[in-house]
Amino acid sequence: MAQAIDLRSDTVTRPTPAMRKAMAQAEVGDDVYREDPTVNRLEDRAAEILGREAALFVPSGTMANQIAIRVLTDLGREVICEERSHILAYEMAMMAAFSGCLARPIRALDGVMTWTALAGEIRGRSIHHARTGLISLENTSNLTGGTVYPIHVSDDICDRAHEAHLPVHLDGARIFNAAVYLGRSAAEISQKFDSVMFCLSKGLGAPVGSVLTGSQEFIDEARIVRKMLGGGMRQAGVLAAAGLVALEEGPKRLHVDHENASFLGDALADMPGIRIAPAKVMTNIVVLDVTGTGLTAAEIAKRLAARDVLASAMSPAILRMVTHYDVDRAGCERAVVALKEAVGPAVRRTVH
Ligand SMILES: *Cc1c(COP(=O)(O)O)cnc(C)c1O
């Protein structure tokens, strides 16, 4: 049987031969004592690339986001975020459980909030309302189909938030995808944020790890919170070594993933019963609204799996496909054929 075309997520990538070699040869030490030279090198390089004073290597993007929320807010505050954002919808209510914060979710077209949309939700000192403690943006926005914030929109939110004395965090799990789409550097598109996290383990291809970046003062605090969460790793240089390869090499080939996602988007756009949101696939995520097929996303995912194509059912209506370096154009072509086979008969049934 051929190997499955795995479009569930860009987290499924396996380490490249270059990563495995770097891991095998990594110089290591105890990172809790700050003695792992490879982790130190990764953190220095990540800070440099993002144009920040400092960076912290963490086991997951979830941990990075939750550390940022803890450091930047206080108990009893609200965090303004998009309704479908990862920090709210995919992180186990951790902003409440760990930081004592409540989300103030906003629904924004394609997940891209604007200052105008969120300004009315900001609350100051009051004897009735929880005060806003933080604004968090996600770029690219995962659940809305890898959509990208125009730079002026995210810059504007940061500027105005800072005027209101509010910090802004960037969940930049896929910031390098956003940078490729915008044709700008990751540093340029994120310089106004107070903290930025990005994943090494998504499209960049590392097996494990994310990085949190910000001022030295912020990262000093973040390091303590990481330890609270049990995220202090020891000879983590074996992971950081793969992370360094991912960081240096990964961004250079993300455009290929974008081209493949675009191909999927174009090929599926005129399939009966399927609607692609947003209209234009910007990065490496294709989100399909399958309501018109008469099948749930989970049913379609099951039929695809029977044809050796894996996709994620994000809700009954939404099927997600994510491109990455372990899926080539031929794989995407196979996925299109499989989807046609999977939903074709169902659509005809509902039309009659
Ligand atoms: C993947 C992802 C994260 C972090 O996920 P982990 O699995 O915890 O590394 C955070 N935000 C977004 C938008 C993501 O897609």
Residues 17 and 129 in one domain: yes
Residues 44 and 157 in one domain: yes
Neighbouring residues of 304: CB distance < 8 A, sequence distance ≥ 6: 310, 311, 335, 338, 339, 342
Helix (H) or strand (E) holding 153: helix 151-163
Give the pLDDT confidence score for residue 3 in this predicted structure.
82
Residues 41 and 185 in one domain: yes
Provide the b/e sequence for 293-305 (b: ≥16 CB within 10 Å): bebbbebbbebbe
Q: For the chain, give the number of residues.
A: 352
The tens digit of pLDDT for each residue in 32-69 reads: 999 999 999 999 999 999 999 999 999 999 999 999 99
Q: Residue 39 in contact with residue 211, Cβ under 8 Å? A: no
Give the pLDDT confidence score for residue 120 in this predicted structure.
96
The tens digit of pLDDT for each residue in 166-206 reads: 999 999 999 999 999 999 999 999 999 999 999 999 999 99
- Tell me which residue has its CA closest to atom 2 in ligand 1: 173
Mutate to test the pocket of ligand 1, among 62, 66, 87, 285 (most ligand atoms within 8 A of CB): 62
Residues 246 and 257 in one domain: no
348 pLDDT band (50/70/90 cuts)? Answer: low
Give the pLDDT confidence score for residue 352 in this predicted structure.
44
Give the pLDDT confidence score for residue 207 in this predicted structure.
97
**Ligand 1 contact via 99 beta carbon (within 6 Å):** no
- The pairing of beta strand 102-106 with beta strand 132-138: unpaired
Distance of CA 224 to the CA centre of its chain: 24
pTM metric for this prediction: 0.96
- Tell me which residue has its CA closest to atom 4 in ligand 1: 61
Higher pLDDT, 55 or 271: 55
> Is pLDDT of 322 > 50?
yes
**Ligand 1 contact via 194 beta carbon (within 6 Å):** no
Percentage above 70 pLDDT, the chain: 97
Give the pLDDT confidence score for residue 244 in this predicted structure.
98
Give the pLDDT confidence score for residue 278 in this predicted structure.
81
Residues 263 and 315 in one domain: yes
Structure tokens at 22: 């770097």
> 208, 235, 250 — which closes off a domain?
250
Nearest CA among 128, 124, 82, 131 for reference residue 102: 131
Residues 190 and 258 in one domain: no
Residues 225 and 271 in one domain: no
What does the pLDDT average to over 262-283?
91
Provide the b/e sequence for 205-226 (b: ≥16 CB within 10 Å): bbbbbbbbbbeeebbebbbebb
Mean pLDDT of the chain: 96
CATH number of the domain within which 314 lies: 3.90.1150.10
Q: Range of 312's domain? A: 5-11+253-351
Mutate to test the pocket of ligand 1, among 58, 148, 199 (most ligand atoms within 8 A of CB): 199
In the numeric block, the tokens 């988007």 are attached to 265
> 200, 225, 250 — which closes off a domain?
250
Q: For residues 235 and 250, give the distance between their C-alpha atoms in angstroms, rounded to a whole number.
A: 23
Q: Residue 173 in contact with residue 138, Cβ under 8 Å? A: yes
Residues 287 and 235 in one domain: no
Give the pLDDT confidence score for residue 6 in this predicted structure.
97
What does the pLDDT average to over 96-109?
98
Structure tokens at 170: 């960037």
Ligand 1 midpoint to CA 62 (Å): 6
Residues 216 and 289 in one domain: no
Residues 236 and 313 in one domain: no
Residues 224 and 295 in one domain: no
Structural domains in the chain (count): 2
> Is pLDDT of 351 > 80?
no
CATH number of the domain within which 179 lies: 3.40.640.10
236: three-class secondary structure by DSSP: coil
137: three-class secondary structure by DSSP: strand
Ligand 1 midpoint to CA 210 (Å): 9
Nearest CA among 104, 16, 122 for reference residue 95: 104
> 222, 250, 278 — which closes off a domain?
250
Our CA dihedral for 225, 230, 235, 237, rounded to 10 degrees, sits at -50
Ligand 1 midpoint to CA 93 (Å): 14
The tens digit of pLDDT for each residue in 62-98 reads: 999 999 999 999 999 999 999 999 999 999 999 999 9
In the numeric block, the tokens 């860009």 are attached to 10
**Ligand 1 contact via 62 beta carbon (within 6 Å):** yes
Ranges 39-48, 146-155, 247-256, 340-349: which has the least confidence: 340-349
What does the pLDDT average to over 330-346?
91
Structure tokens at 150: 């125009």
Instruction: Please give the number of the atom of ligand 1 that sits closest to the Cα of 138.
Output: 13
Residues 260 and 238 in one domain: no
Ligand 1 midpoint to CA 319 (Å): 18
CA distances from 156 to 12, 71, 151, 198, 209 (A): 35, 23, 8, 21, 30
CA distances from 144 to 92, 285, 291 (A): 19, 9, 16
Q: Residue 65 in contact with residue 202, Cβ under 8 Å? A: no
